[in-house]
């Protein structure tokens, strides 16, 4: 057996084989895969083998599209068959909400170049004649949908990898993974020890156990999943005589997916009475095994399926396939460098392996070889879950995700499982004030505060929700007086040491501020992509505070640690340092009433230490609301004391608490961008306007400088702009296509309703040459073409007098 390799993949399912192939495709030849049994053991061999492009995240959908197109390439390379059946597929909608979801997805597909279409009942009858159309109002047809041979496809990946120089060792059980001081790994197997520079956990059903060998917890859990294959179905037999194959049918109402299998049908279910499998760990003895048939848990689903697809009831059951698949809490894969580990990579939780496996393999290979993937993959980055995840959290979230696999996914939906998980000291106080909670990175965050007859629960919707009036009330309270909310949901980092300033000068593209000041700065990747937008505060010559998105803290902290230098210490203090922001024309008076420090002299972007009430605080004059405002940070143990001081002083000025719904409306008034909407690794600073915060005058070769300078000299083709939209009852959420002269020329990044201005506002990308004030376009929202106009003047505080004065 080979005893050393550049990269060792643990796990021989379709995902491990894909990673192995893509590493060779991108240039690494000395790579190796070990599998404890045979290739495809675990989940791969018993998978239904379906593939589709539909995914709520556009980058995931694009990677699924790549995966599907890859299969023909594999067949050409290897001469092996993947058993491809490109039959197309239709997703059904039996109510307005489901149809809205399909309209939203179809709109996204327009600028992605995917050839999907909305179809009515009459068209569905022709496309999928096995379907009973009673109650169906429409569907989404995708010609790329289909199915394949799971075993043949996995072996095609493996052969292509071997042809590229890779080695595969089957019947090789991994016992230990031990890291050397230099960051390389000794992987102990029952055939000997393999020394590897990089280790990839593609363990599938055993990913938790493989991770535990390295001291890593992966938030994954297997679920039992069952599908049925029927005997011959007369309709299918007749279609076969004409050389036709029935397309896939996804029926969210029935929690099922259906496709042709031979001369019969195959139908699988994501049933509500689902069961987790192997809660305390996957047995090593499990391999190419199935679970006992269990019709009890799918009896309701079967009954519904018989009504939707009557031919099923008349056909005998040929086979029942019942086996486990592994899910992450949100159903997406866990991919990328594991935070806090050197040279340890994840390729786990890929439950839709034949839709996503190729994209996962490509993404990870790019990350390992080139330093970063070509597109934003935050939706499957292993760093989207932090060390706050536990098995007790993972299990109920996985069950919830399984049950909602085919449910409508709303843009404002807050899922209830494992809630609350993490709370601040303000949770009970805010709850008593009517807080309606959302969750971000496992933390409870107030979305809005319900008073009087306002709803104590926001009904999920693609249109303006029943929280509209409560949000408007909070927005106007801020603009006319003063509002308060927490700053807990900022990621916060303390950077100290004699080389802290020099390090920040290299890590950040913007100017490093002097003591007592703060600056706004983008953080760029090696390829010039946006990987963060930060507030950088200088608390002392060797002490800085960085703030950014709370949900990206593991992602950002991983970057910091990977680029750390001697003489610099970086701590993630996101949960140790908390506090409040106060905003509105009365904010200064409230703060002054709570401190003996003269705050009247604080200029915009000043930062000072002061006692506020009883709390020792860091106060920054900056506000995401675009109004006069202050961010006030303190030790988490002092937060309640700080609250009482600010709240008591605020009563004279009519202070109200406000939540994230109001915050996101307020920021639209100033066209402020949001992380993972306007700012993400898919975009550059010059595209989004963040290049105005880049300091090209500094002499430091900051990360990403070369590309930033190139775009300064030759601006990119697209530009982020704001729009006033003539919308009715639904606003932009993100990824709606922008039409100009009858063609899709761009897409929206986010939007909403400006309660201050009484207008629907959106932000999005259009060709730079056309990005001028007054440009008339159309934005497609839920199938309707809404006129929109480019605007460049902020809706509030046009000259910045209140924010800066």
- pLDDT tens track for 10-60: 999 999 999 999 999 999 999 999 999 998 877 766 666 788 777 778 888
Asked whether residue 800 carries a pLDDT value surpassing 70, the answer given is: yes
pLDDT > 70? residue 226: yes
pLDDT more than 90, % of the chain? 89
Spatial neighbors of 62 by CB under 8 A, at least 6 apart, are 112, 359, 375
pLDDT digits (tens, 9 = 90+) for 570-610: 999 999 999 999 999 999 999 999 999 999 999 999 999 99
Per-residue pLDDT, averaged over 773-791, amounts to 97
Give 628-662 pLDDT, tens digit per residue: 999 999 999 999 999 999 999 999 999 999 999 99
| Residue 360: pLDDT over 90 | yes
In this prediction, residue 59 carries a pLDDT of 84
pLDDT digits (tens, 9 = 90+) for 429-461: 999 999 999 999 999 999 999 999 999 999 999
What residues form DSSP beta bridges with 484? 582, 657
Mean pLDDT of 233-241: 92
Instruction: Check residue 335 and give its pLDDT.
Output: 98
Identify which has the larger pLDDT, 49 or 527: 527
**pLDDT value at residue 208:** 97
Residue of 193, 190, 186, 216 whose CA lies nearest to 203: 216
Contact (CB, 8 A) for 491 and 499? no
DSSP labels, 223-238? EEEEEEEES--HHHHH
- The residue among 579, 584, 608 whose CA lies nearest residue 596 is 608
Res. 249: pLDDT tops 70 = yes
pLDDT score for 64: 87
What pLDDT is recorded for position 45?
60
Three-class secondary structure of residue 114 per DSSP? coil
Q: What is the DSSP letter of 132?
A: -
Residue 497 CB partners (closer than 8 Å, separation 6+)? 503, 542, 567, 568, 569
pLDDT at residue 545, as a whole number? 98
pLDDT of amino acid 635: 98
Question: For position 219, what pLDDT does the model report?
Answer: 97
How many beta carbons lie within 10 A of that of residue 456, not counting itself? Answer: 8
Q: Are 105 and 56 in contact (CB under 8 A)?
A: yes
Picking from 27, 23, 12, the residue whose alpha carbon sits closest to that of residue 172 is 12
Residues contacting residue 575 through CB under 8 Å, at least 6 positions apart: 488, 636
Per-residue pLDDT of 747-775, as tens digits, reads 999 999 999 999 999 999 999 999 999 99
The residue among 334 and 151 whose pLDDT is bigger is 334
Q: Is the pLDDT of residue 287 over 90?
A: no
Residue 442 to residue 659: CA distance in whole angstroms: 17
Q: Cβ distance 654 to 681 under 8 Å?
A: no
HEC profile of 439-481: EECCEEEEEEECCCCCCCCCCCCCCCCCCHHHHHHHHHHHHHC
**Which residue carries 């939906």 as its tokens?**
413
- What contacts 478, CB < 8 A, 6 or more positions away? 583, 584, 625, 627, 656, 658, 662, 666
- pLDDT score, position 46: 63
CB neighbours of 147 closer than 8 A, spacing ≥ 6?
A: 48, 49, 50, 51, 85, 87, 248, 259, 354
- Tell me what pLDDT residue 51 has: 81
d(CA 423, CA 430): 11
Across the chain, mean pLDDT equals 95
The pLDDT of residue 218 is above 70: yes
Which domains, from first to last, does the chain contain? 4-327 (3.50.50.60), 717-805 (2.40.30.110)
pLDDT, position 250 = 95
Q: What is the pLDDT of residue 352?
A: 85
- The answer on pLDDT for 290 being more than 90 is no
Degrees, nearest 5: CA angle 210-216-221 = 65
Residue closest to 559 by CA, chosen among 500, 495, 507: 507
> Mean pLDDT over residues 332-343, rounded?
96
Cα–Cα–Cα angle for 22, 26, 30, rounded to 5 degrees: 80
Strand pairing category for 490-496 and 256-261: unpaired
User: Residue 588: enclosing H or E segment and its boundaries?
Assistant: helix 587-592
Predicted local distance difference test score (pLDDT) of residue 60:
85
Q: Which pLDDT score, from 0 to 100, does residue 111 have? A: 83
Residue-level pLDDT at 371: 95
Residue 407 pLDDT:
86
Please compute the mean of the pLDDT values over residues 145-161 and round it to a whole number.
Answer: 93
Q: Which comes out higher in pLDDT, residue 695 or 57?
A: 695
Q: From residue 654, how far is each of 17, 137, 447, 587 by CA, in Å?
A: 62, 49, 20, 11
């Amino acid at each position: 057996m080979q005893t050393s390799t550049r990269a060792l993949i643990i796990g021989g399912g379709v995902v491990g084989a894909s990673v192995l192939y893509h590493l060779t495709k991108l240039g690494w030849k000395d790579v190796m895969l070990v599998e404890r049994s045979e290739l495809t053991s675990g989940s791969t061999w018993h998978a239904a083998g379906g593939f589709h492009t539909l995914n709520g995240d556009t980058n995931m959908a694009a990677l699924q599209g790549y995966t599907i197109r890859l299969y023909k390439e594999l067949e050409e390379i290897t001469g092996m068959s993947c058993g491809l059946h490109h039959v197309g597929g239709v997703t059904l909608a039996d109510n307005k909400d489901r149809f809205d979801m399909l309209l939203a997805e179809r709109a996204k597909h327009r600028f992605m170049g995917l050839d999907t279409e909305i179809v009515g009942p009459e068209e569905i009858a022709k496309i999928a004649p096995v379907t009973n159309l009673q109650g169906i109002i429409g569907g989404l047809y995708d010609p790329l949908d289909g199915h394949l041979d799971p075993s043949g496809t996995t072996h095609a990946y493996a052969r292509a990898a071997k042809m590229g120089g890779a080695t595969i060792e089957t019947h090789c059980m991994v016992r230990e993974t031990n890291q050397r001081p230099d960051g390389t790994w000794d992987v102990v197997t029952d055939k000997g020890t393999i020394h590897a520079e990089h280790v990839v956990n593609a363990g599938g059903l055993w990913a938790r156990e493989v991770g535990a060998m390295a001291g890593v917890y992966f938030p994954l859990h297997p679920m039992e999943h069952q599908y049925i294959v029927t005997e011959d179905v007369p309709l299918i037999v007749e279609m076969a005589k004409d050389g036709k194959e029935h397309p896939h049918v996804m029926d969210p109402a029935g929690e099922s997916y259906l496709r042709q299998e031979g001369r019969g049908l195959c139908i699988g279910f994501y049933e509500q009475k689902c069961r987790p499998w192997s809660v305390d760990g996957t047995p090593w003895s499990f391999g190419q095994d199935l679970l006992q048939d269990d019709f009890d848990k799918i009896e309701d689903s079967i009954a519904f399926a018989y009504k939707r697809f009557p031919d099923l009831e008349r056909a005998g059951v040929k086979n029942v396939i019942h086996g486990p698949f592994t899910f992450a809490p949100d159903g997406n894969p866990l991919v990328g460098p594991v935070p806090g580990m050197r040279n340890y990579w994840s390729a786990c939780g890929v439950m839709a392996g034949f839709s996503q496996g190729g994209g996962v393999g490509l993404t990870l290979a790019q990350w390992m070889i080139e330093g970063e993937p070509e597109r934003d993959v935050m939706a499957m980055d292993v760093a989207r879950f932090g060390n706050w995840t536990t098995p007790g959290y993972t299990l109920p979230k996985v069950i919830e995700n399984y049950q909602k696999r085919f449910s409508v996914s709303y843009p404002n939906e807050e899922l209830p499982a494992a809630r609350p998980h993490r709370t601040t000291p303000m949770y009970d106080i805010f709850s008593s004030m009517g807080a309606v909670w959302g969750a971000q990175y496992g933390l409870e965050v107030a979305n809005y505060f319900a008073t009087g007859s306002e709803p104590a629960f926001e009904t999920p919707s693609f249109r303006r929700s029943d929280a509209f009036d409560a949000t408007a009330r909070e927005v106007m309270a801020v603009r006319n007086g003063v509002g308060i909310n927490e700053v807990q949901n900022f990621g916060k980092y303390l950077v100290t040491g004699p080389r802290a300033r020099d390090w920040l000068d290299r890590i950040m593209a913007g100017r490093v501020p002097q003591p007592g000041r703060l600056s706004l700065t983008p953080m760029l990747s090696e390829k010039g992509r946006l990987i963060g937008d930060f507030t950088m505060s200088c608390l002392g010559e060797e002490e800085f505070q960085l703030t950014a998105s709370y949900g990206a803290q593991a992602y950002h902290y991983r970057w910091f640690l990977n680029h750390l230098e001697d003489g610099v210490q970086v701590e993630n203090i996101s949960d140790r340092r908390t506090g409040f922001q106060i905003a509105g024309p009365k904010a200064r008076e409230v703060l002054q009433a709570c401190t003996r420090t003269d705050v009247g002299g604080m200029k915009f972007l000043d930062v000072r230490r002061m006692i506020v009430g009883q709390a020792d605080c860091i106060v920054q004059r900056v506000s995401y609301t675009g109004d006069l405002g202050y961010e006030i940070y303190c030790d988490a143990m002092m937060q309640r004391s700080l609250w009482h001081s600010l709240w008591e002083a605020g009563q004279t000025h009519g202070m109200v608490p406000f939540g994230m719904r109001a915050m996101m409306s307020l920021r639209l008034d100033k066209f402020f961008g949001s992380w993972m909407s306007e700012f993400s690794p898919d975009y550059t600073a010059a595209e989004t306007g963040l290049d105005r915060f880049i300091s090209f005058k500094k002499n430091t070769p900051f990360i990403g400088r070369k590309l930033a300078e190139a775009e300064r000299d030759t601006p990119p083709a697209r530009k982020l702009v704001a729009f006033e939209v003539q919308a009715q009852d639904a606003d932009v959420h993100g990824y709606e296509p922008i039409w100009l002269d009858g063609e899709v020329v761009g897409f929206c990044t986010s939007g909403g309703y400006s309660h201050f201005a009484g207008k629907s506002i959106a932000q999005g990308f259009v060709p730079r040459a056309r990005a001028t004030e007054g440009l008339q376009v159309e934005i497609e929202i839920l199938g309707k073409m809404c006129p929109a106009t480019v605007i460049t003047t902020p809706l509030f505080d046009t000259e910045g007098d209140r924010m800066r004065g």
